Amino acid sequence: MFGKIEGKTVLDIGCGSGHSLLYMGSRGASELWGMDLSSKQIEASKGVLAHQKASTYLFESPMEENPGIPHNYFDIVYSIYALGWTVDLSQTLQHINTYLKPGGTFIFSWEHPFHDRITYKDESFVLTKSYNKEGPEWNEAWHLEVLIYHRKLSTYVNTLIENGFMIEKIIDEVNPYEREPSEDPSKWYSSQKAEWIPSTFIIKSKKV
């Protein structure tokens, strides 16, 4: 979905350990930029990217703020399983739009918003939460008390459009991975569940 990466300036929102930026560098990106809320992840990224030929810039910051990232600068901004953590989706997308050059690409992935509405119970998958009710809630996938925002897929799409993006492609068809005979269907991610509902969605958009 990224197309040609060689010679492109890229920014990773929620860069984590830096391995996706390492991948971008291996594909010839000219500049590697990343931001993450965690100081430990930024330190990990510095180690992973220490020997990259491309210029590297890392920021410890919430995605709802601009820590000093230039405007109209990037060919590609992307976020891998991080954008959904934002507490203010519109503000975050406003910033991302300003970072991109006109016509620049923004791609992100996140857990499909139907995925945590479905639970395995009594040998069946049942709907246990309202898909339509949006807002912060305790996330069951974490064994700690973690609040995360539930948003409908249409909310992501409409908020992108409202903040100056044109949708180019949406993928929510994830092929179920091979099922192990002993696999527990009640696991958060299971092949049985993936046969009913995709675990992930990916959106590719362009700055208008």
Residues 6+ away with beta carbon under 8 Å from 129: 116, 117, 150
Kindly give the pairing relationship between strand 200-207 and strand 165-171.
antiparallel
**Distance (Å, whole) CA 72 – CA 101:** 4
Q: What are 170's strand-pairing partners?
A: 203
Segment 134-183, tens digit of pLDDT: 999 988 777 667 889 999 999 999 999 999 999 999 999 766 555 555 57
Domain boundary assignment for the chain: 9-112+151-181+199-207
**Distance (Å, whole) CA 125 – CA 207:** 39
At the second CATH level, the architecture of 9-112+151-181+199-207 is 3-Layer(aba) Sandwich (3.40)
Q: Is the pLDDT of residue 188 over 90?
A: no
Q: And the tokens for 53?
A: 């030929």
CA distances to 4, 60, 93, 124, 186 from 66, rounded to whole Å, are: 27, 10, 11, 45, 40
Polymer length of the chain: 208
Give 192's pLDDT tier (boundaries 50, 70, 90): confident
DSSP state of 159: H
Segment 5-46, tens digit of pLDDT: 999 999 999 999 999 999 999 999 999 999 999 999 999 999
Residue that the structure tokens 């350990």 belong to? 17
Summarize the confidence of residues 76-81 as an average pLDDT: 98
Q: And the tokens for 33?
A: 């930029």
The Cβ-side half-sphere exposure at 76, using a 13 Å CA radius, reads 25
